Amino acid sequence: MVEMFPLKSADAAYGKIRGMLSTLGDPFTRIISPKEYQSFRIGSDGNLQGVSLFVSVETGHLVVLSCVEGNPAARAGIHDGDELIEINGQRLDGFDSESAAQRLRGQAVTSVRVKLHRGNGSGSGSDIKEVKLPRELIRLSPISSTFIPHRTPDGRLTKTGYVKLLTFSQTAATDMKNTIHEMESKGVQSYILDLRNNPGGLVKVGLDVAHIWLDGNETLVNTIDRDGHMSPINMANGHALTHDPLVVLVNEGSASASEILAGAIHDNGRAILVGHKTFGEGKIQSITELHDGSALFVTVAKYLSPALHDMDQVGIIPDV
């Protein structure tokens, strides 16, 4: 039986659909508006117009997760851990991270005023800071890297390659391949892969990055549906770009594709994990774009690591 609802607006329709979805008991099965869906897709191509400030909800507060180096928020002295209080004079009580992000984004050459409470005990005098940030066209390069020279216990000079992966955008795997090739050519003998505060992105890209570090036909991740049917996702005749020692850094901001990548590398014996327990986002969702540009997200399965550890709402516990 089909029941018809006379609705006077799109918001009323979304509200009715949200009510129906809430009966499923899964807060991640949801409908989002066209504007929210557009924002969701920004991360996949690596370009946006805004201030390069990424926020997350922690115990009811909007906290700065990261700032892209060299972009407006970082230049203004905003740091990880600062709490976002107001945007253009509007208090953010009860706002989620996506709603805040929408207010931070906007056309390049415009600006936005934000008020923050300095986190991590930073600052002296008043802990409240208000700054005006110019919006810019920002290319989110997913990789930053450097060489760390040091001496081994026996006195030899050696190099460690440090690679920070910010997000799993479309170019992340290619950019990482290029970075590792360059580091190998410069004589790097060990690596640090930093996944701290990487919120995820395209899962397929996460699996592509795992191929850079692993050989053979290893299992990268397992999927399990609501009926308990499990299917492994395996590499096919993989060839790692390097077999040098590897450490992976993770923390509570490492989520989704970051956790899949960390689990794949760790459980296959390729690296040790150092840091804090990861976020715990292991759901697989089907995304359907509707005719008005909104989108329906439906949880259909979840991920288990190669060693069958449940990541969802649990996270990955590091070795150190």
Q: Given a cut of 90, is residue 36 above it in pLDDT?
A: no
pLDDT at residue number 123: 43
DSSP 8-state class, residue 24: T
Band of the pLDDT at 7, cuts 50, 70, 90?
low
SS3 content of the chain, % helix, strand, coil (to 5): 25, 35, 40
Closest of 99, 36, 97 to residue 292, by C-alpha? 36
pLDDT at residue number 48: 66
Q: Given a cut of 50, is residue 122 above it in pLDDT?
A: no
CATH number for the domain whose boundaries are 48-139:
2.30.42.10
- The CATH T-level fold of domain 143-304 is 2-enoyl-CoA Hydratase; Chain A, domain 1 (3.90.226)
Share of the chain above pLDDT 90, in %: 58
Q: Given a cut of 80, is residue 125 above it in pLDDT?
A: no
Closest of 127, 238, 144 to residue 192, by C-alpha? 144
DSSP 8-state class, residue 117: E
Tell me what the mean pLDDT of segment 206-233 comes to.
Answer: 95
Query: Average pLDDT over the chain, rounded to whole?
Result: 88
Tell me what the mean pLDDT of segment 34-47 comes to.
Answer: 69
Closest of 168, 86, 151, 80 to residue 121, by C-alpha? 80
Lookup result for tokens 């060299």: 70
Give the separation between CA 223 and CA 177, rounded to whole angstroms.
Answer: 26
Residue ranges of the domains in the chain?
Answer: 48-139, 143-304
| Helix, coil or strand: residue 265 | helix
pLDDT at residue number 40: 72
What lies within 8 Å, CB to CB, of 63 at 6+ separation is 55, 56, 57, 81, 82, 83, 84, 119
H-helix or E-strand spanning residue 18:
helix 10-22
pTM of the model: 0.69
H-helix or E-strand spanning residue 60:
none
Q: Residue 50: beta bridge partners? A: 136
Q: Residue 274: beta bridge partners? A: 249
Closest of 114, 121, 108, 50 to residue 84, by C-alpha? 114
DSSP 8-state class, residue 310: B
Q: Is 53 or 174 the better-scoring residue by pLDDT?
A: 174
Q: Residue 161: beta bridge partners? A: 147, 191
Band of the pLDDT at 12, cuts 50, 70, 90?
confident
From 117-121, 196-200, 303-307, the region with the lowest mean pLDDT: 117-121
pLDDT in tens, 228-271: 999 999 999 899 999 999 999 999 999 999 999 999 999 999 99
